Structure 1
Amino acid sequence: MSEKYLFDFGTGEAFPGYTKVTEKSVYSDKSGFGFSRSDQMYMINRETSKPLFSDFCIPLRNSFLVDVPNGVYTITFLIGDALVETETTIKYNDNKVLIRELKTYPKQFVRESFTVNVNDGRIKLTFFGCAPRINAMEISLKKDAVAMFLAGDSTVADQPIDGYPYAGWGQCLPQYIKADAVVCNHAYSGRSSKSFIDEGRLDSIWDQIKTGDFLFIQFGHNDSKPDKARHTDPFTTYKEYLKIYIDGARQRGATPILITSVQRRMFNDDGKIIETHGDYILAVKELAIEEGVLLLDLAEKSKNLYEKLGREGSKALLMWGVPGEFLNFPNGVSDNTHFQEYGANFIAELVVEGLREFNLQSLNLCLRS
């Protein structure tokens, strides 16, 4: 099994030890790597003396695929152009944001590394941006990454590409995490603290989590639903189910972190957010004190953000769109709970802000400055 894959993009000679990627490098099962489509990629050579940076590819909404054995991998991107400014966004598996609007100036060359979890034998990297670049790429097996597991609902989950721009904050979190750590997002739409366990989703986390890892826990949106499969009572069963997450993480040497539910965008006549989660937020806070668990108050942080932006300004964060605004929602959409990707980025920033406030060295070592 190979533990390192090196790719040099462009028209020049391949850098020693690297596999050359050209216009003819379209993915096939035989080659095991290449772009998903033969158009929307342009190879250029500036003929500079900068190794690996003189030639490059301009991939326009094209995906680069690499077959690898399942595991955790660090991907290092080399990006830049000797003559013009660039702007590059890169997503992993269609929806996880690794790089967002990275800009470089002429003759500025950067190396950015991120770690991802591969479960289906393939790395898929899709390139966006006004002027994207990829000069070279290094993919190497990462055996000692700290894992940051996410257990939650739709506001956290990785949302499918056919629902774009619908997004959970968990899929935007990787861009803020150093290559020494990997985000493992197990959150799933429509789940409560109870149904997440009953469906075996927590068992999947227990199969992977290890000493030194983190478990982020955000439920509440669906615990108040009346159906038997999801409903919990704030001060009894809700706390009892959350304690299962806490105890399980600690038994495995991991650190549990409770997160209060992100607020819904519901304003009163005075321009203040209406608390729609009732006692569920209070119950999480009580449990954090009772169990001595770190608490990230995302409810308070999102409330402050919405109120700062105001009734109209905050619509840009949520799935609000007029007919024809979003390709996947041709009839328009008005949703005060779920984020579009633009807003999910803001919420992910609030999560990172909260994590920094813990001033926990083992956690700070995972966060980008």
Structure 2
Amino acid sequence: MTFRFDFGTAGAAGENYRKVTPADGYDTKQGYGFVNGAQVSAARRSGEALTGDFCIPFDASFVVDVPDGNYIVNLAIGDELAPTCTSLKTNGERLILKDRRTVEGQIAWEKFSVNVRGGKLKLRFGGLAPRVNALEIVPSPELITLFLAGDSTVTDPRDGIFPQSGWGQMLPYYFRHDVAVANHAVGGRSSKSFIGEGRLDVIKEEIKEGDFLFIQFGHNDQKPDEPRFTDPATTYKPYLMQYVEVARSANATPVLITSVQRRHFDEAGKLKDTHGAYLDAVRELAREEGVALIDLAEKSKRLYEELGPEETKKLLLWGAPGEWLNYSSGVQDNTHFQEYGSLRIAELVVQGIRELNLMPLTMYLR
């Protein structure tokens, strides 16, 4: 089923479209509407179907009930009389548009993909002057799905921890609509506990021929508790191999990724390695099994040393007391990223995709 919405002031909608005004708050019976829409307003510029009027979704989300799966979304943004600036995140706060600007009189149609789990497609709007004119949501089960398995450095953020962010949240920003990112990474998980909780089984049920599975663990495999600990010399590689086998059994492509570095410098400004033999184990497994490898540990090491001890604080979750609402007492976290940092790390992952020439993913990068 295709969903189509025409946003703006009250009146007739475009053909085969449902009209949405600022008064349309999300309702389970109608299955769509604005959330946190107290500041949503609307304006009409002309009688042009779909684009002659619009909603101004300032700091609001538009939610649509849809079956789980992959969708291609077509979104019209712009204003006949004024320049606009719109940012957009989708399910899991995945970045799609960052300060997308239009000039006076320009209507831009943006096309992107969304992987939906939980029965709701969510569009969260931001930017200095956001607009939404029209929206089309089309089921697309044939899309390439890029599955992510990993920990908190990869995952989509949960509520109440902004600005903490994982690089998987930012990955959709770099892809055209041909690839849907399905981020299954969860904070605190190791290669072992992710499997023990049945999370790899969920990926196994969904992954299909032509898809990709990116695998980054190690941070929590070091933890001493029995549900998570793996030994880099004995058990770590066999657990990682289970992910490789799930992808290969579906004729999908596995990609191993070494753990992104923590921010720990020595007195000379050189980064201290905190993952040790876990990094070597991933590299060895990639060589032994002929699996593509993105050495994110090495890439992030170079980035951190280039920036230095002070500038890297802008990547990680550092903040003075009162700087971040969710960390009012201040925070000094050398493992997790804020959004600027996760965007930079996602850029390194994309760099690795290009270097490996992972087809057809490379074709679909922006």
* TM-score interval for Structure 1 and Structure 2 normalised by the shorter chain: over 0.9
Match in the other structure for 2:30: 31
Higher mean alpha-carbon deviation, 259-268 vs 96-105, is at 96-105
Q: Distance in 2 between matches of 1:312 and 1:83?
A: 44
Shift of 1:48: 7.1
Give the root-mean-square deviation of aligned CA atoms.
1.5
Indicate the SS of the match to 2:318: strand
Match in the other structure for 1:9: 7
Residue identity opposite 1:45 in structure 2? R
Match in the other structure for 1:256: 254
Match in the other structure for 1:324: 322
- Normalised by the size of structure 2, how large is the TM-score? 0.96
Indicate the SS of the match to 1:314: helix
Tell me whether 1:139 sits opposite 2:137 in the alignment.
yes
Match in the other structure for 2:120: 122
Residue identity opposite 2:243 in structure 1? Y
Indicate the SS of the match to 1:139: strand
Indicate the SS of the match to 1:236: coil
Q: Distance in 2 between matches of 1:360 and 1:268?
A: 36
In 2, are the aligned partners of 1:5 and 1:140 still within 8 Å (CA)?
yes
Match in the other structure for 1:151: 149
Residue identity opposite 2:135 in structure 1? M
Match in the other structure for 2:18: 19
Q: Structure 1 residues 314, 62: closer, same or farther in 2, change over 3 A?
A: same
Q: Distance in 1 between matches of 2:196 and 2:91?
A: 27
Shift of 1:150: 0.5
Shift of 1:38: 4.7
Q: Distance in 2 between matches of 1:94 and 1:212?
A: 24
In 2, are the aligned partners of 1:94 and 1:126 still within 8 Å (CA)?
no
Residue identity opposite 1:293 in structure 2? V
In 1, are the aligned partners of 2:92 and 2:169 still within 8 Å (CA)?
no
Q: How many residues of Structure 1 are paired with residues of Structure 2 in the alignment?
A: 365
In 1, are the aligned partners of 2:91 and 2:116 still within 8 Å (CA)?
no
Shift of 1:186: 0.9
Shift of 1:57: 1.2
Q: Structure 1 residues 195, 94: closer, same or farther in 2, change over 3 A?
A: closer
Q: Distance in 2 between matches of 1:133 and 1:8?
A: 12
In 1, are the aligned partners of 2:92 and 2:157 still within 8 Å (CA)?
no
Cα deviations across residues 141-163 of structure 1 (Å, max 9, x unaligned)? 11201111111111001111211
2:224 to 226, 237, 247: 226
Match in the other structure for 1:70: 68
Higher mean alpha-carbon deviation, 102-111 vs 221-230, is at 102-111
Tell me whether 1:98 sits opposite 2:117 in the alignment.
no
Indicate the SS of the match to 1:133: coil
Cα deviations across residues 263-297 of structure 1 (Å, max 9, x unaligned)? 01111112121111111111111111111110001
Indicate the SS of the match to 2:16: coil
Match in the other structure for 1:47: 46
Q: Distance in 2 between matches of 1:52 and 1:205?
A: 38
- Normalised by the size of structure 1, how large is the TM-score? 0.95
In 1, are the aligned partners of 2:87 and 2:98 still within 8 Å (CA)?
yes
1:102-251 equivalence runs, <5 A: 102-251=100-249
Indicate the SS of the match to 2:215: strand
Shift of 1:94: 5.4
Q: Distance in 2 between matches of 1:194 and 1:360?
A: 27
Residue identity opposite 1:324 in structure 2? G
**Identity across aligned pairs (percent)?**
55
Residue identity opposite 2:182 in structure 1? C
Shift of 1:127: 0.8
Cα deviations across residues 90-140 of structure 1 (Å, max 9, x unaligned)? 122352222222122222322212222222222221111111111111111
Q: Distance in 2 between matches of 1:244 and 1:304?
A: 30
Q: Distance in 2 between matches of 1:70 and 1:27?
A: 19
Shift of 1:260: 0.7
In 1, are the aligned partners of 2:92 and 2:156 still within 8 Å (CA)?
no
Tell me whether 1:267 sits opposite 2:265 in the alignment.
yes
Q: Distance in 1 between matches of 2:123 and 2:38?
A: 16
Tell me whether 1:84 sits opposite 2:82 in the alignment.
yes
Q: Distance in 2 between matches of 1:152 and 1:37?
A: 31
